Amino acid sequence: MFPTDRPRRLRATPGLRRLVAETDVRPRHLVLPVFVAEGLDAPKPITSMPGVVQHTRDSLRKAAAEAAAAGVGGIMLFGVPARRDAVGSGATDPEGILNVALRDVRSEVGDALPVMADTCLDEFTDHGHCGVLDDHGGVDNDATLPIYGEMAVAQAAAGAHVVAPSGMMDGQVGVIRRALDEAGHRDTAILAYSAKYASAFYGPFREAVDSQLQGDRRTYQQDPGNAREAAREVALDLDEGADMVMVKPAMSYLDVLRRVADSADVPVAAYQVSGEYAMISTAVERGWLDRERTILESLTAIRRAGADVVLTYWAAEATAWLDR
Ligand code: PBG
């Protein structure tokens, strides 16, 4: 006989579909990651991320003002220094590129747009690792922690509302929380990259920050096959005082994201990384995927899997397609 249960009834018109939509993406959910490079005369395109640039200090100010006007949820700054050394001195120097750019952006947007800073040494070290090295060339967890603390304090002093430790050192959130509090930055929030995988999808980011890395980050970032371990990382970070937690990358880790979203009692972010951006961009360029539909579907899927906040290089652009 005929089916009596007809889910199609609720899909019949745009109005009905809108009425029953379970997931929405709004500009406020999106955070725009941006790169600012020291010593550039003009913005420099990143070949493997079409449409994304290394900003000058001036072009970054403009981009931040535009993002604020568009109503995005936040902006996340990454710095690309002109000089690097073994301990990443540019990260803690108040005159380092990331810290001066934070001051620029904060003076441009005030409190209208949450300003976030990547708290990690990989852009600043001459070996490209997220921490300092021990005598055997390994990444020294405990020697790195005080530098992260100092870096976070410099970022807070420069105006960051949120610091975002992404180096996957054990204990980093606790050390940063203590350092911020001792320096009087009690209101600076921590967005912890809690479940960050050793992913091939970060490939284009290496070009974006002129990364010096040889080898990989598998001694500190997570194995892509491990999901239970993500729950452990999140629990530790919450215990140490994380205000928000993140899963990264996003699209290949939606199950992990769901798991984290179901258990964490803080806002959960997901990072749609450079390789995800590059894949879709390239297919769109070739005419194989529809730009707007594909980007919005990817963002909707990340939200559906449980992300309150999505970091995406399309943040500013996508706002034009979204209801406020
Ligand atoms: C580390 C960091 C990385 C990314 C964000 N923060 C690189 C890495 O861990 O290798 C990748 C972001 C992207 O690929 O878009 N500071």
Overall pTM > 0.75: yes
* CATH dotted code for 24-321: 3.20.20.70
What 184-189 contacts at long range (C-beta under 8 Å, 24+ apart), as own/partner pairs, is: 185/153, 185/156, 185/157, 188/152, 188/156, 188/160, 188/161, 188/162, 188/163, 189/161, 189/162, 189/163, 189/243, 189/244
Rounded CA gap, 4 and 8, in Å? 11
DSSP string across 266-317: S-EEEEE-HHHHHHHHHHHHTTSS-HHHHHHHHHHHHHHTT-SEEEETTHHH
The amino acid occupying position 64 is A
- Residue with the nearest Cα to atom 1 of ligand 1? 166
Residues linked to residue 36 through DSSP beta bridges, in sequence order = 55, 79
Give the atom of ligand 1 at the shortest distance from the alpha carbon of 201.
14
- Residue 136's contacts (CB-CB under 8 Å, 6 or more residues apart) are none
Active-site option among 29, 55, 196, 259? 196
The amino acid occupying position 174 is G
* Alpha helices in the chain, H assignment, sequence order: 14-19, 57-70, 89-92, 97-109, 141-157, 172-182, 203-208, 228-239, 254-263, 274-285, 291-304, 315-318
CA 310 to chain centre: 8
Establish whether the linkage from the previous residue to 165 is cis, with ω within 30° of 0: no
The total of other beta-carbon atoms located within 10 Å of residue 181's CB is 13
Helix (H) or strand (E) holding 242: none
* Residue 179 CA, ligand 1 centroid: distance in Å: 23
> What is the model's pLDDT at position 323?
84
> What is the model's pLDDT at position 324?
82
- Residue with the nearest Cα to atom 14 of ligand 1? 202
The amino acid occupying position 265 is D
- Give residue ranges with CB within 6 A of ligand 1: 118, 120, 122, 130, 166, 202, 205, 217, 273-274
> What is the model's pLDDT at position 212?
87
Closest to 274 measured CA to CA, from 197, 210, 201: 201
- Residue with the nearest Cα to atom 8 of ligand 1? 202
- Mean pLDDT (10-residue bins), the chain, 324 residues: 91 97 97 97 97 98 97 98 96 98 98 98 96 95 98 98 97 98 98 97 92 91 97 98 98 98 97 98 98 98 98 96 89
Could you identify the residue written with the tokens 């990817």?
298
- Residue 291's contacts (CB-CB under 8 Å, 6 or more residues apart) are 284
> What is the model's pLDDT at position 148?
98
User: Could you tell me the residue ranges of all domains in the chain?
Assistant: 24-321
Which one of 193, 202, 279 would you pick to mutate in the ligand 1 pocket, going by the greatest count of ligand atoms within 8 A of its CB?
Answer: 202
Rounded CA gap, 135 and 81, in Å? 25
Q: Confirm whether 248 is a catalytic residue.
A: yes
| DSSP classification of residue 56 | P
> What is the model's pLDDT at position 117?
98
- Residue 69's contacts (CB-CB under 8 Å, 6 or more residues apart) are none
Helix (H) or strand (E) holding 33: strand 30-37
Rounded CA gap, 210 and 35, in Å? 11
